[in-house]
């Protein structure tokens, strides 16, 4: 029977070759190739039997884990011993019971430095002008003759700007005597006088100075 099967396969192969030659002319080569491969595979499969696959092994089900039941520890009785309390830990009867008062927290931050104020330099001493020096030799104010006959009397105050050299630069009436003639005589008198100049420290300086003049009949 095996010889007859081989003869059939050889005959089929010859027929396929002849059919292939015809297919080259008729354009059916692609179909012949798809048929040749299954026939060759069938002839090879008949010669070598394929053994069946082994049955799959069944794994045993996992055994259930049984957690051991906790056993209560055996109670061991120990002899009761009296507790010795140190004398220092026993509070006195008069001692107050409670928490100790918290101690005040000291501020560890350094105190802010007080601002340093610069001491201003003392201002130089100011000395006002004067007419009391003996070397000045200032004459007495001239009393107007008409004022004498009319009995005019009074006190005039003249404001004088005295230069650094002690000479008057200008004068103005600060307060009147009540009589025009006496006021004019006072202004003329202070502009003829000499003065001790005012000083700022030790330096002479031009300053204003009030000069009082009294007109009194004798």
Please give the pLDDT value at position 41: 41
Distance between CA 164 and CA 207 in Å, rounded? Answer: 8
Please give the pLDDT value at position 101: 55
For residue 118, what pLDDT band results from cuts at 50, 70 and 90?
confident
The pair of three-digit structure tokens given for residue 104, joined into one six-digit string:
């005040």
Mean pLDDT check: name the lowest of 87-91, 115-119, 162-166, 204-208. Answer: 87-91
Q: Which residues are bridge partners to 154 per DSSP?
A: 215
Please give the pLDDT value at position 25: 63
- pTM reported for the whole predicted model: 0.44
Residue-wise pLDDT for 160-215, tens only, equals 999 999 999 999 999 999 999 999 999 999 999 999 999 999 999 999 999 999 99
Please give the pLDDT value at position 120: 78
For residue 89, what pLDDT band results from cuts at 50, 70 and 90?
very low
Report in angstroms the alpha-carbon separations of 212 from 160, 169, 174, 202: 11, 17, 9, 26
Please give the pLDDT value at position 10: 76
Nearest C-alpha neighbor of 152 from the set 94, 201, 215 = 215
Mean pLDDT check: name the lowest of 111-125, 127-141, 187-201. Answer: 111-125
Please give the pLDDT value at position 62: 55
For residue 78, what pLDDT band results from cuts at 50, 70 and 90?
very low
Is residue 134 within 8 Å of residue 206, measured between CB atoms? Answer: no
Listed in order, strand segments (DSSP E) in the chain are 126-127, 154-162, 168-175, 198-200, 203-205, 207-215
- Which parts of 1-28 fold into alpha helices (H)? 2-26
Place of tokens 């420290």: 201
Please give the pLDDT value at position 211: 95
Mean pLDDT check: name the lowest of 23-27, 131-135, 168-172. Answer: 23-27
Please give the pLDDT value at position 152: 94
Is residue 187 within 8 Å of residue 146, measured between CB atoms? Answer: no
Cβ-proximal residues to 210 (8 Å cutoff; 6+ apart), any chain: 157, 158, 159, 160, 174
Distance between CA 115 and CA 24 in Å, rounded? Answer: 118
């Amino acid at each position: 029977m095996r010889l007859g099967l081989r003869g059939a396969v050889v005959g089929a192969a010859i027929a396929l070759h002849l059919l292939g030659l015809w297919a080259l002319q008729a354009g059916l080569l692609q179909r012949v190739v798809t048929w040749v491969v299954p026939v060759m595979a069938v002839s090879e499969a008949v010669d070598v039997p394929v053994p069946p696959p082994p049955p799959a092994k069944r794994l045993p089900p996992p055994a259930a884990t049984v957690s051991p039941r906790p056993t209560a520890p055996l109670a061991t009785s120990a002899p009761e011993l009296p507790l010795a309390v140190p004398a220092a830990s026993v509070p006195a009867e008069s001692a107050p019971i409670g928490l100790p008062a918290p101690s005040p927290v000291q501020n560890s931050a350094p105190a802010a430095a007080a601002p340093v104020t610069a001491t201003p330099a003392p201002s130089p001493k100011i000395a006002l002008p004067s007419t009391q020096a003996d070397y000045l030799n200032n004459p007495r104010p001239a009393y107007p003759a008409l004022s004498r006959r009319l009995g005019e009397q009074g006190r005039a105050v003249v404001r004088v700007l005295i230069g650094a050299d002690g000479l008057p630069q200008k004068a103005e009436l600060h307060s009147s005597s009540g009589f025009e003639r006496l006021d004019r005589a006072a202004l003329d008198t202070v502009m003829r006088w000499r003065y001790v100049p005012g000083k700022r420290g030790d330096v002479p300086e031009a300053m204003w100075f009030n000069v009082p003049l009294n007109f009194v009949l004798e």
